[in-house]
């Protein structure tokens, strides 16, 4: 497919702006109090997760309720790579992504035989199976409830072969010697996010992406025109599973442990919410959604009664107490309540997510300006 030159240029600008925005996150997020490495890493990682989920849900309309399984597989694989081979993060990320991809081929091949709610239930069933197995029989691999952790006695064969000196405490993950904690860790994830975004942009603009969209709008018609839709769906499913695996292995890179709760279906629900909140089928939306949810999770869950009292200290005493009473159930421990309420409100009133909201705001403003213009025109004639 030939692409209009203006569109390619627009995409290039988008890519440049996106890259700049991601790399300068520590600067422009500083006023919000979110500019510390741990949270920034989460933004980037869950951004990748949501972009990948959007490739499946946004383009094909297939709602998977089991994507957390791939996140978990990615994490476990990465930690095993740290344990057995080397603390270098490159192999961990590659193995995590590839293995998730393989599992996605298997699960996708079976689940994609059905569509609609049946597909959702099938993916959910597979994710729950993985979760239950990780907790019970697979304990030798997953270390059950404790979660998989690094040990001093781990083999690390490649590191040993290369003669990496053995440290006193647990070794940390590194990129050829550069430790992957704090800002270096964030920049590693950020580069991954930029690559992930670029691939997703290319998929969106490609004939393949168009075919996926065609499947979403009318799968039967696609069939009549002679396309066998299943291979396309499977490819989309596998790509999206690999994104989840990449995100999972990055979680292990920034914090080398893996637990089964990462695969629970609430985790699958979380990525759905991120995508919906940002805007299904949009390029930037899922990343925005992921960032917002992780931000709120961090900020809201750290608030407690005392902080609330400080916030409302400017009010008269009785008002202050009322406001604290109103907001207290929604912060700290009760942050999930906010999340659930957000879920309901967004789906009810703004099914297109934040991007839809922005678009609506823009049309409201442009319409107003147009009205102004036409009024001017009348006056002049």
Partner 1 sequence: MDAFILQILNGLDKGAAYALIALGLTLVFGTLGVVNFAHGALFMLGSFCAVSLNKIFTISERVKDPAVKFFDAYKEQPYLEIWFGETGTTIIQYSVPLSLLLAIPIMLLFGVIMERGLIRHFYKRPHAEQILVTFGLAIVLQEIVKAWFGANPIPQAAPPIVAGSADIGSWIGLGEAVVYPWWRLIYLAFSALVLGSVFAFLQFTTWGMVVRAGMQDRETVGLLGINIQRRFTIVFGLAAVVAGMAGVMYSPILPPDYNMGMDFLVLSFVVVVVGGMGSLGGAVAAGLLLGILQSFSSMNEVKELLPGIDQVIIYLVAVVVLLVRPRGLFGRKGVMET
Q: Which residues bind partner 1 (CB under 8 A)?
A: 57, 61, 63, 65, 110, 113-118, 120-122, 124-126, 128-129, 132-133, 135-138, 265-266, 269, 272-273, 276, 329, 333-334, 336-337, 339-344, 347-348, 351
Min dist. Cβ of residue 293 to partner 1 (A): 13
Min dist. Cβ of residue 198 to partner 1 (A): 27
Contact (Cβ atoms closer than 8 angstroms) between residue 185 and residue 45: no
Kind plus residue range of the DSSP H or E element containing 257:
strand 257-258
Smallest Cα–Cα separation from 285: which of 50, 52, 56?
50
* Class of residue 225 by CB neighbours under 10 A (exposed 0-12, middle 13-18, buried 19+): exposed
Angle between helices 265-278 and 335-349 (to 10 degrees): 50
Min dist. Cβ of residue 153 to partner 1 (A): 27
Min dist. Cβ of residue 76 to partner 1 (A): 16
63 vs 87, beta carbon nearer partner 1: 63
Contact (Cβ atoms closer than 8 angstroms) between residue 83 and residue 60: no
Smallest Cα–Cα separation from 319: which of 307, 309, 306?
309
134 vs 192, beta carbon nearer partner 1: 134
180 vs 212, beta carbon nearer partner 1: 212
User: What are the Cα distances from residue 194, in Å, to 13, 15, 148, 322, 380?
Assistant: 14, 8, 29, 45, 50
196 vs 215, beta carbon nearer partner 1: 215
Contact (Cβ atoms closer than 8 angstroms) between residue 244 and residue 71: yes
154 vs 297, beta carbon nearer partner 1: 297
Contact (Cβ atoms closer than 8 angstroms) between residue 26 and residue 39: no
16 vs 337, beta carbon nearer partner 1: 337
Min dist. Cβ of residue 135 to partner 1 (A): 7
Helices and strands in the chain, H and E counts: 18, 4
Min dist. Cβ of residue 72 to partner 1 (A): 15
57 vs 80, beta carbon nearer partner 1: 57
DSSP bridge pairs for 257: 149
Min dist. Cβ of residue 222 to partner 1 (A): 14
């Amino acid at each position: 497919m030939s692409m209009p030159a203006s569109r390619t240029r627009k995409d290039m600008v988008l890519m440049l702006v996106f890259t700049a925005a991601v790399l300068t996150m520590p600067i422009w997020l500083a006023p919000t109090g979110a500019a510390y490495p741990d949270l920034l890493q989460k933004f980037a990682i869950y951004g990748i997760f949501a972009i990948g989920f959007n490739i499946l849900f946004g383009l094909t309309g297939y709602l998977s309720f089991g994507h957390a399984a791939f996140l978990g597989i990615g994490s476990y694989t990465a930690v095993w790579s740290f344990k057995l081979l080397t603390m270098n993060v490159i192999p961990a990320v590659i193995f995590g992504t590839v293995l998730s991809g393989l599992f996605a081929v298997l699960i996708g091949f079976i689940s994609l035989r059905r569509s609609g709610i049946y597909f959702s239930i099938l993916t959910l069933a597979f994710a729950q199976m993985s979760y239950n197995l990780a907790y019970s029989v697979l304990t030798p691999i997953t270390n059950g409830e404790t979660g998989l952790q690094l040990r001093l006695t781990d083999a690390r064969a490649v590191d040993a072969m290369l003669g990496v000196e053995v440290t006193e405490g647990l070794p940390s993950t590194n990129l050829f010697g550069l430790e992957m904690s704090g800002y270096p860790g964030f920049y590693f994830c950020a580069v991954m996010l930029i690559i992930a975004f670029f691939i997703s942009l290319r998929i969106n603009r490609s004939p393949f992406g168009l075919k996926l969209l065609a499947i979403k709008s009318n799968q039967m018609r696609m069939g009549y025109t002679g396309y066998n839709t299943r291979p396309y769906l499977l490819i989309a499913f596998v790509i999206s599973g690999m994104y989840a695996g990449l995100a999972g292995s990055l979680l292990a890179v920034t914090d080398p442990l893996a637990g089964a709760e990462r695969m629970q279906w609430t985790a699958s629900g979380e990525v759905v919410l991120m995508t919906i909140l940002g805007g299904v089928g949009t390029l930037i939306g899922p990343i925005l959604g992921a960032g917002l949810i992780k931000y709120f999770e961090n900020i809201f869950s750290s608030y407690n009664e005392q902080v609330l009292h400080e916030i409302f200290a400017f009010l008269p005493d009785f008002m202050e107490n009322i406001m604290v009473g109103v907001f207290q159930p929604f912060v700290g421990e009760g942050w999930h309540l906010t999340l659930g309420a957000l879920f309901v409100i967004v789906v009810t009133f703004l099914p297109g997510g934040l991007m839809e909201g922005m678009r609506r705001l823009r049309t409201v403003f442009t319409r107003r300006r147009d009205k102004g213009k036409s009024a001017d025109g009348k006056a002049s004639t």
